Amino acid sequence: MRCLVTGAAGFIGSHLTRRLGVEGHEVSAVDCFRPTYDLATKRENLAWAADGGQVTSFETDLSRDGLEDLLHGVDVVFHLAGRPGVRDSWGDALAPYLQDNVLATERVLAAADGAAVAKVVLASSSSVYGEARRYPCRESDLPRPHSPYGVTKLAAEHLAGAHARNGGPALVVLRFFSVYGPRQRPDMGLARLFDAAATGAPFPLYGDGSQLRDLTAVDDVVEALCRAAEVALPAGTVLNVAGGRPVSLAELIERVGEMSGRPITVEQHPPQRGDVTRTEGAIDCIRDRLGWAPATSLSDGLAAMAAWHADR
């Protein structure tokens, strides 16, 4: 299978790219290396690809550069690229989110249409649900984004649906819930928590710690991506990818402290605009459609993340 992975140097993208390469698929790994965090870290995420094999890396800005040559002969596009982060998406800062999450998605979808790509798997986010009216959130629930970032992810979903309804490639949208694991972005909560455990620096806690997050291990997310590419589904299918058991930030702080052998010092901050009090996704649909369920326990997932941080 010939695959194109966008956002290949990112957290989830680098894990997916490696698995596809190891399995012998021919992979074009695309990233624009925006400095949303340390570029050396991003390049390190794909450094192994330079050893040869089936993975070829391309530095490409999806919102500006030509995409036709990249997509020639590609069977499946995994579109993971995008600008992350809820708190930084307000006001004038929205412009790059529109560029990277909406315009870039439209250009990828249009190029996939023109190249007769068989399938596009689009990475979306639980942020489209916002402060939900009920939990766990189901794919049929009306999305109510709680931040401009969530709005841009929902807009990308709608663009993908429009292409699917107008004869574009078979399309699957996967809504990820609080993905964690080795190589997690350094600005994300668990990465910061492990850094605090290692350095003794205070952990910035926004709110009172009662917020619930439906943590999903990155290896489980990669398994869902691969199954979405392989299984025939109705065009425009939307599926939650969730861990199955929400956990409070307070519990995570305690567990990481126990793993590190010392309690985490907490630096209290007010809740931030755009943050939600709870994420929790129903996984009945993805279990029925893809035979997928989370396979990584929270204990094992945290241990893998701790081991990765210890080696850095």
Catalytic site residues? 149
Residues near 66 by beta carbon (within 8 Å), at least 6 away in sequence? none
- Return the number of other C-beta atoms located less than 10 Å from residue 27's C-beta: 27
The whole-angstrom distance between residue 272's C-alpha and the CA centroid of its chain comes to: 21
Give the closest residue to 12 by CA, choosing from 209, 205, 181, 145: 181
| Tokens 């455990």 belong to residue | 197
The whole-angstrom distance between residue 161's C-alpha and the CA centroid of its chain comes to: 19
Instruction: Please state, in angstroms and rounded to a whole number, the distance separating the CA atoms of residues 59 and 49.
Output: 13
Instruction: Please state, in angstroms and rounded to a whole number, the distance separating the CA atoms of residues 131 and 134.
Output: 9
Residue 205 pairs in a beta bridge with 268
Strand pairing category for 212-213 and 247-248 = antiparallel
Angle at 39 between CA 35 and CA 181, to 5 degrees: 100
Give the closest residue to 250 by CA, choosing from 206, 218, 197: 206
Give the closest residue to 122 by CA, choosing from 46, 286, 236, 19: 236
Cα–Cα separations (whole angstroms), residue 183 to 44, 69, 180, 187, 194? 10, 30, 8, 11, 12
